[in-house]
Amino acid sequence: MSEHRIHGRAFLRGAIQDDTLITLRDGLITEVVQVSPRPANAAGTDGLIVPGFIDLHIHGGDGADFMDGDVDANARILAFHARNGTTALAATTLSGSQHDLKHAVAAITKTKRAAPRGAQICAIHLEGPYINLHRAGAQDRPSIRSADIQEIASLLEEAPPKFRWIITLAPEIAGAQALIEQYRSRILFSIGHTSADYSEAVAALGWGATHFTHLFNAMTGMHHREPGVVGAALVSTDATAELIADGIHVHPVVLRIATMTMPNRIALVTDAIRACGLPEGKYRLYDSEVTVVEGAARLNTGTLAGSVLTMARAVQNMVELAGLPVHTVIPLATEVPSRILGVSDRKGKLDAGYDGDVVVLSPKFAVERVFVAGEPIETDRGS
C-alpha cells in the first residue's frame, strides 16, 4: 500500500496543534509528530486535519437507501458519505416488514464483506420497528409492532457473531423489557420514538438501555413537572445521545445546552436519507414520499423525515450556529461515536496505530481531503 504524509494544523488529544506531520502507511496512522518547517515529501494544508467522522445513524444518500436491500446501492451510500468526510458508520434501517428488514440486513452484511471503496460499516442500526405508533415520525406506521425476541434472533443470524448492533425502541411498548434484558450484552439499545415518561425512561436504563436516538426528536420533552425522556437523558451519568445538528431538528441554542449538559456523551448524527447530496424534490423513504425544500425533508403532513445533512456540515453548524469551539465539537463526530460503536481502540483519534481514517477541513469546513484506511478518497468539495 502507498504512503501519504500530511502536514498542518491538527486536532490531537483534545486540542489543535500546529506543525503536525501525520504519516499513513499500510492502512494505519504510523506516525504523528510535530515538525517545522513542512518536510518536502509531505502535503501541506491551511485547513484542519481531523479524524474521519463516524455516523451512528445514517439511512442513505446519493439516491440510495439501506432499506433498498441492494449491495450496489449500499456501496453508493458508502462512497458518497466518504467523499463528504464520513469514514465509518452504522448502516441504519427503518420500520419495515419482517421480509424487508431481513433482506436489508442481509444486504448490509454482504456489503461489509465486499468492503467497497468508501466509508466502513461498523454496525447495523435498527431504528424500529419496535417503537410507539404515536411517536412514529416518518416511520412506516403499518410496520410498527411489539418487540419480538424471535425476530431479532433471526436478524442476528444474518450477520457475523461479533458484529455491532444498535436497536432504537420505545421502552413502553409490549416486549421491550424482555428484549433488552435478553440481548443487552450483545446489542446497544437506544431509547427513541417514544411516549415514555421520565420514570419509564429511567427504568429502561436500568434494564440495560444506554443510548438515546436523536435527542429531543420523536420523544417526550422536558417539562418542569414531568422531565420526560429528555430529562432522563440529561441527568443520566453514563448514557449517550444523538443530536441532529442541521439547525432544523433542534434549535442551535438547544444543541449548545445539550452538549454542555452532557459532556463527552453527545454524538452528532446526520439521519441522512437517500435525498442527501441530491437536488430538492420528491424522494422515497420506504413506503412514503418525502419532499425536500430549503434543506428540510418532510412528509406531506409536514413531519420531518430524516435529513439531507452531512457530518462536515453538522460540525460546521455546531461551531457557527450553536457557537461551540471547534475543539469541543470534533470529538462529537469522532471520539464519542467511536466509543459508542466499540471501536475506540482503532478509530476516532489521530494517533499512531489507529486506522488511517483522516479528513482535512478547509477554514470554512469544506471537505478538502479524505483518507479511508490510509488511501485517498475523491471528495465532493463544498458539500
Does 331 share its domain with 243? yes
Does 360 share its domain with 253? no
Does 102 share its domain with 203? yes
**Residue with C-alpha cell 506531520?**
21
Q: Quick check: is 159 in a domain?
A: yes
DSSP character for 276? T
Q: Quick check: is 199 in a domain?
A: yes
Does 268 share its domain with 123? yes
Does 159 share its domain with 227? yes
pLDDT tens, 6-51?
999 999 999 999 999 999 999 999 999 999 999 999 898 999 999 9
Quote the CA–CA distance of 131 and 147 in Å, as a whole number.
8
pLDDT for 383 equals 37
Does 112 share its domain with 9? no
Does 326 share its domain with 367? no
Does 251 share its domain with 365? no
Does 30 share its domain with 142? no
pLDDT for 133 equals 97
The answer, yes or no, to whether the previous bond of 129 is cis (omega within 30 of 0) is yes
Q: Quick check: is 182 in a domain?
A: yes
Quote the CA–CA distance of 270 and 268 in Å, as a whole number.
7
Nearest of 245, 244, 228 to residue 236 by alpha carbon:
228
Torsional sign, CA 44, 46, 50, 55: negative
Residue 207 has pLDDT above 60, yes or no: yes
Residue 22: domain span: 3-50+351-377
Number of independent structural domains in the chain = 2
Q: Quick check: is 236 in a domain?
A: yes
Q: Quick check: is 209 in a domain?
A: yes
Q: Quick check: is 198 in a domain?
A: yes
pLDDT for 162 equals 87
Catalytic position from the list 62, 271, 355, 380: 271
Average of per-residue pLDDT across 288-315: 97
Q: Say whether pTM exceeds 0.95.
A: yes
First vs last C-alpha separation in the chain: 29
CA torsion angle for 45, 50, 52, 55 (degrees, to 10)? -130
271 assigned to active site: yes
CB-CB neighbours of 326 under 10 Å: 16
- Provide the angle, in degrees to the nearest 10, between the axes of the packed helices 176-183 and 149-156: 40
Quote the CA–CA distance of 339 and 95 in Å, as a whole number.
26
Residue 28 in grid coordinates: 494505519
Quote the CA–CA distance of 75 and 157 in Å, as a whole number.
22
CATH assignment at residue 371: 2.30.40.10
Does 92 share its domain with 41? no
Q: What is the mean pLDDT of the chain?
A: 96
Nearest of 203, 206, 219 to residue 168 by alpha carbon:
219
Q: Quick check: is 235 in a domain?
A: yes
pLDDT tens, 98-151?
999 999 999 999 999 999 999 999 999 999 999 999 999 999 999 999 999 999
Does 249 share its domain with 361? no
CATH assignment at residue 258: 3.20.20.140
Residue 244 in grid coordinates: 441532529
Residue 377 in grid coordinates: 478518497
Does 112 share its domain with 214? yes
Q: Quick check: is 382 in a domain?
A: no
